[in-house]
């Protein structure tokens, strides 16, 4: 299976969706002059060399092209234009900015931004790329940081939860952390990235097609999250191609709990631009929708 890792898949379709959603949320927070709190629980390296990713996986070329295409998306959408402005200078140098630099590029003087990363090398890179900025970085498990820093002061803002999901237990960790967070910070905006995984895969050893044990974990997590997201939950999914045993992660999603007013409408033209510019086939799996708990 094609696992999602920050450094290995920098600049792919999942990054484009995540960062456009992040910028759309920040735009909503900045409607008011009041300061906001921001926490990235799995901040990663901060910035990535795309040529390094290409050299280690030729299949990654198409995913890097997705990021380059996104920098050329036409239209007057303000979020897309801001994304173009931020990433273009990095892409020109064969680099791609991670969510810490995306968020920092939009931050105002009154806003407080925290980045948590436990991996030693990733934290070292993050320290390098954020040196001289106002970002607060923490060498700590992201879920521990989430618990320690919330509820924040000021009591408005958002968290971005973006684990690698390499272990099945990480899905449950997200559920438990979000449930606890909602109980003590009910008004906080919670944005969670997750992978869309094909139901079958090719066994690397036997070359036989087999069931993918992680394929339904994202869907199960979303269903469980909806049970305690009493203030509302919006799901944004972008399927870059149809699921197949030939591709592990065929797309990804962003679920937003306690979404800002009219956030659903803000994301529809953004998703439309992604499907027209980056989608590989003619699938109709992408959507922006309000999630209603099962009866």
SS3 content of the chain, % helix, strand, coil (to 5): 40, 20, 40
pLDDT surpasses 90 at 8: no
Q: Distance between CA 102 and CA 220 in Å, rounded? A: 29
Q: Distance between CA 238 and CA 250 in Å, rounded? A: 9
pLDDT surpasses 60 at 155: yes
pLDDT surpasses 80 at 51: no
Alpha-carbon Rg for the chain, nearest whole angstrom, is: 18
Beta strands across the sheet bearing 249-257? 136-138, 112-116, 37-40, 157-161, 189-197, 249-257, 233-239, 287-290
162 is catalytic: yes
Q: Share the mean pLDDT of the chain.
A: 89
With residue 138 as reference, give the H or E element that holds it.
strand 136-138
Report pLDDT digits (tens) over 164-194: 999 999 999 999 999 999 999 999 999 999 9
Domains and CATH numbers, the chain: 13-290 (3.40.50.150)
Catalytic residue among 15, 40, 111, 162: 162
pTM above 0.85, yes or no: yes
With residue 160 as reference, give the H or E element that holds it.
strand 157-161
Report pLDDT digits (tens) over 82-112: 998 899 889 888 889 999 999 999 999 999 9
pLDDT surpasses 90 at 136: yes
Per-residue confidence (pLDDT) for residue 56, from 0 to 100:
46
State the average pLDDT over residues 138-160.
96
Report pLDDT digits (tens) over 248-294: 899 999 999 999 999 999 999 999 989 988 888 999 999 999 987 66
pLDDT surpasses 60 at 2: no
Per-residue confidence (pLDDT) for residue 201, from 0 to 100:
87
For residues 104-128, b (16+ Cβ closer than 10 Å) or e, as one string?
A: bbbbeeebbbbbbbbbeebbebbbe
Per-residue confidence (pLDDT) for residue 286, from 0 to 100:
97
57-64 contacts, C-beta under 8 A, 24 or more apart: 57/8, 60/8, 60/9, 60/12, 62/280, 63/9, 63/11, 63/12, 63/13, 64/11, 64/12, 64/96
| DSSP class per residue in 33-72 | SS--EEEETT-TTSEEEHHHHHHH-TTHHHHHHHHHHHTT
Report pLDDT digits (tens) over 203-253: 888 888 988 999 999 999 999 999 988 889 999 999 999 999 988 899 999
| DSSP class per residue in 224-262 | HHHHH-TT-EEEEEEESS--BTTBSEEEEEEEEESPPTT
- Quickly count: other Cβ atoms within 10 Å of residue 293's Cβ: 13
């Amino acid at each position: 299976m094609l696992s999602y890792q920050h450094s290995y898949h920098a600049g792919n379709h999942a990054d484009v969706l995540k960062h456009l959603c992040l910028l759309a949320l920040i735009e909503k927070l900045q409607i008011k002059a009041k300061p906001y709190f921001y926490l990235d629980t799995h901040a990663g390296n901060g910035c990535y060399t795309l040529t390094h990713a290409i050299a280690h996986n030729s299949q990654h070329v198409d995913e890097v092209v997705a990021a380059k295409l996104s920098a050329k998306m036409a239209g007057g959408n303000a979020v897309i234009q801001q994304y173009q402005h931020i990433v273009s200078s990095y892409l020109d140098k064969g680099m791609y900015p991670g969510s810490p630099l995306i968020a920092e590029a939009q931050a105002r003087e009154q806003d407080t931004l925290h980045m948590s990363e436990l991996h030693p090398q990733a934290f070292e890179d993050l320290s390098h790329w954020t040196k001289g900025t106002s970002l607060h970085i923490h060498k700590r498990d992201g879920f521990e940081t989430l618990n320690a820093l919330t509820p924040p002061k000021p009591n408005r803002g958002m968290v971005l939860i973006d684990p690698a999901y390499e272990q099945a237990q990480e899905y449950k960790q997200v559920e438990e952390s979000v449930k606890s967070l909602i109980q003590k910070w009910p008004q906080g905006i919670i944005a969670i990235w997750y992978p869309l995984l094909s139901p079958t895969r090719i066994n690397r050893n036997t070359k036989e097609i087999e069931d993918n044990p992680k394929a339904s974990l994202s869907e199960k997590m979303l269903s469980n999250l909806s049970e305690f997201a009493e203030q509302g939950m919006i799901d944004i999914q972008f399927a870059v191609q149809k699921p197949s045993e030939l591709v592990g992660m065929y797309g990804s999603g962003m679920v937003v709990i306690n979404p800002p007013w009219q956030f659903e409408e803000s994301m529809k033209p953004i998703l439309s631009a992604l499907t027209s510019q980056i989608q590989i086939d003619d699938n109709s799996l992408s959507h922006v929708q309000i999630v209603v708990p099962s009866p």
